Chains A and B, each alone.
Chain A
């Protein structure tokens, strides 16, 4: 077998990678039924790549869980199915549509309706149904003030709630996964990564990502400063107009609330340059967050990713 290059062994990307792999292995050893929450976005794709590395030459010893709002870009689902096949892992889907049909949640109405808030119930239902005791999330501490204090191992009570006032101290690399029956953990292996680190790592490791991240032509419209894509799930408000523009997405989530950015970056190096020169944090493009400043903290307390 070939001997690998040692050039970048001491780089910070390798340090972050080793930290994430350590955490994934520890979860596999400390928990009975871990699961990787797969959103279809670059952070969860990077997580699957790290999981593959962590357990090589074995396969990833846990399934992926996709909370499907039903409002997806086609590219997201195609990519998801391709990746699952490539990795040889099991995929579980928690469907928001099903939860609506069963009356577990009530759909918001009106042109500004979003299914983002509706993800919590199907997610927690799936965790309970499959008895998942640890769920990997792609959250990073640099994304949001509320996340700056988040632990790698974040305890959730029986109701899936996070208690920011009562977090366990986390020291060295000694992670405490002890819990009572019915409780679970959210685990964030990418906590110490920044958006730039993620992009650089994708480039370094040549990780495949959905075409949505690269500049392409698309029918879009503006809503309160956010560029949204035309989809079947959304009505235009009076005064909003469709136009065709070259855009790309910086995050991939629910198609009704993920904002695009005007961009011509169609290769990884171009994207990286764009990120380096960026004027807005990633979540600035998320329409949903603007509803309230404390939005993130609120959603987290309830059990959002």
Chain B
């Protein structure tokens, strides 16, 4: 039942249902007058979440202002429109939180006004949200504001976005109008990293598709807004792979008990498991995971617990417990996206206090790589960041941080900057990865620039004795490079070998280049630093291209963790002939498989810079194929590749 209700029907509310409800936090944003206040008001009204005395107040206010939109209902916008009144009076415009519940879920709305200057509020509201609701006025179409909201939702890593196309009543409930908006916004969103985007045509004023299904839009088969909010799966958004436990405080009631109190940032832990304390690197075993109610057999992300260890090791606030085989990056330099939130612009010649998990360190912003114009998404050179500006920065800290990239782990990837003079919070940051020294960056940039020149000098090869096109005309398939990328143990080689075998049986001319194989000969002189990895991929790319020009369907299986390196190979080949296959598996599964015993060696400290553990893996943004091998069999994965090759017209159907 709802938390309350004007109709007084809530007998089951006292039952256990309430205890099984989960929580969804969402943020709402829209341009002025898109109908955001009306939509939220409608949601509260139709879920009977409005108290009688609140309703009376609204009715009175509606009358006083002579602004009732509809005879039967009071002006719903007034229910939530504290912000508008403030705006008129020139008071703070900020994030306001509202609450309502249905039998399925409790909802927390972070309501942010959608003006040009309020990026900072949208960022704040989105930081704790699971889902973003973006409003578009059907009559006005996609506005710059609507795009800005999408950009911020993506920047803050919100896994779910709902676009409510509002005021459908004003466009005669036209499917065409809706579809045009969907198309335009989908095009735009493709540039962003949004995983789950849903469009819903609504009329907040009339109530179509908000809580109740609309008879006015029979062409719309999807969920109503509330139904979607109630059912979107957020449990799966939690990172349960990488155990990270930032210690908040030490609990020591007597000589015999010493426990570390904190909330598990991500992952799962059980008594008896080995852990390592950062920054010291000392190891111990979990003795108990305890709470007021008793000991737990396991504890997972989001739970507030006290952990005790078998050994007396030195751990205090700001330290982090992790698994020895799955550690965050430990470093003094970070690359991050940052939103500036203070009137006083970012200064590079003075320090700030950086707050990350339960740790505070002094920090300098060494470099502003670029600033993003959030309306056009263009990157611009910039010396500083001002209020509401967003940019990519390099930050140095006085002592190391233990971090993950924000996209993999929000809890250990987020930070704020605090001005030590005014004590206010001046910036919000989302870590992209480990920062590199300016010298190194310059050197690698130069190297990359060199490569680019080389490439552009011979985009099409002149003077091949027999051009590839002629070779292809003689065979029943096209030439292509099939590039398998993914973590060690993801199954790249196994799947590629199976694919090659099947292709071979069909008479396709193939060649397979494998990472381990080339490292013995062709690239035997290279290590695993980013620069060496780049050179490795460059050589392999050139070799793959030779096979390609010979007409072969060339399969390459390389971890190839850097997007830039893979894109470089992509650029060597004609459009449509480089097919990136992302072999996707989580690190825990890869670790369990450990076919070559590499993870064990990493854990033992024999191997450093290992992708997915102590070196980054940049997943492809738009791979031609994605294979999730967690549960799929080799045969299934191979069949999928073959099917897609047929579909792409590289090979003909069997």
Binding site for B on A (CB under 8 A): 1-4, 7-18, 21-22, 25-26, 28-29, 52-59, 141-142, 145, 148-149, 164-165, 167-174, 176, 178-180, 191-192, 194-197, 200, 204, 269-270, 272-273, 275-281, 284
Contacts and interface: CB of A to CB of B under 8 A. Distances in A.
Interface string B86-124: 000001101111110100011010000000000011011
Contact of A272 (B14, B96, B123): B14
B18 A200 contact: yes
Contacts of B54: 281
B138 interface: no
B127 interface: yes
Given A21-B304, A176-B425, A28 B9 contact: no
Contacts of A58: 251-253
Contacts of B94: 149, 167
A56 B13 contact: no
Interface of B: 1-6, 8-11, 13-14, 18-23, 51-54, 82, 91-92, 94-99, 101, 105-106, 108, 120-121, 123-124, 127-128, 235, 248-249, 251-253, 257, 259, 261-263, 288, 290-297, 302-304, 306, 317, 341, 353, 355-356, 358, 410-411, 414-416, 418, 420, 423-425, 428
A163 to B, nearest CB: 9
15 contacts: A1-B294, A12-B21, A15-B302, A18-B302, A18-B303, A57-B253, A165-B92, A169-B341, A169-B428, A171-B128, A173-B411, A195-B4, A275-B4, A281-B51, A281-B54
B8 A57 contact: no
Nearest to B105: A12
Contact of A279 (B6, B120, B420): B6
A202 to B, nearest CB: 12
Contact of A26 (B14, B18, B51, B248): B248
A149 B92 contact: yes
Contacts of B3: 194-197, 275-276
Nearest to B317: A29
A275 B428 CA distance: 39
B291 A53 contact: yes
B295 A10 contact: no
A280 B8 CA distance: 11
A58 to B, nearest CB: 4
Given A18-B263, A57-B290, A169-B120, A8 B52 contact: no
A276 B358 contact: no
A277 B10 contact: yes
Contact of B416 (A53, A57, A171, A269): A171
A10 B235 contact: yes
B346 to A, nearest CB: 15
A16 B25 CA distance: 12
Contacts of B428: 169, 171
A180 B422 CA distance: 9
Contacts of A54: 261, 304
A59 B99 CA distance: 33
Contacts of B257: 57
A29 B292 contact: no
A3 B317 contact: no
B235 A168 contact: no
A284 B51 CA distance: 10
Nearest to A178: B423
Nearest to A270: B14
B160 to A, nearest CB: 17
A178 B288 CA distance: 34
B249 A191 contact: no
Contact of A25 (B6, B51, B121, B249): B249
B23 A15 contact: yes
A141 B19 contact: no
Contacts of A180: 423
Contacts of B20: 8, 11
Contacts of B296: 3-4
Nearest to A22: B263
A277 B95 CA distance: 29
Contacts of B249: 25, 28-29
A175 to B, nearest CB: 8
A171 B127 contact: yes
B18 A277 contact: no
A226 B82 CA distance: 26
Contacts of B358: 26, 29
A196 B3 CA distance: 6
Given A149-B95, A196-B101, A280-B52, 15 more contacts: A21-B304, A53-B292, A55-B251, A56-B292, A57-B259, A142-B99, A169-B124, A169-B425, A173-B411, A192-B108, A196-B13, A196-B18, A269-B14, A273-B13, A284-B51
Nearest to A272: B14
B51 A174 contact: no
Contacts of A55: 251, 261
A253 to B, nearest CB: 18
Contact of A3 (B11, B108, B295): B295
Contact of A11 (B21, B82, B127): B21
B53 A276 contact: no
A79 B439 CA distance: 67
B10 A273 contact: yes
A279 B52 contact: yes
Contacts of B10: 273, 276-277
A4 B13 contact: no
A187 B8 CA distance: 34
Contacts of A192: 97, 99, 108
A170 B291 contact: no
A151 to B, nearest CB: 10
A3 B4 contact: no
B408 to A, nearest CB: 15
Contacts of A204: 19
Contacts of A145: 82
Contacts of A200: 18-19
B229 to A, nearest CB: 14
Contact of A148 (B11, B97, B121, B123): B97
B423 A164 contact: no
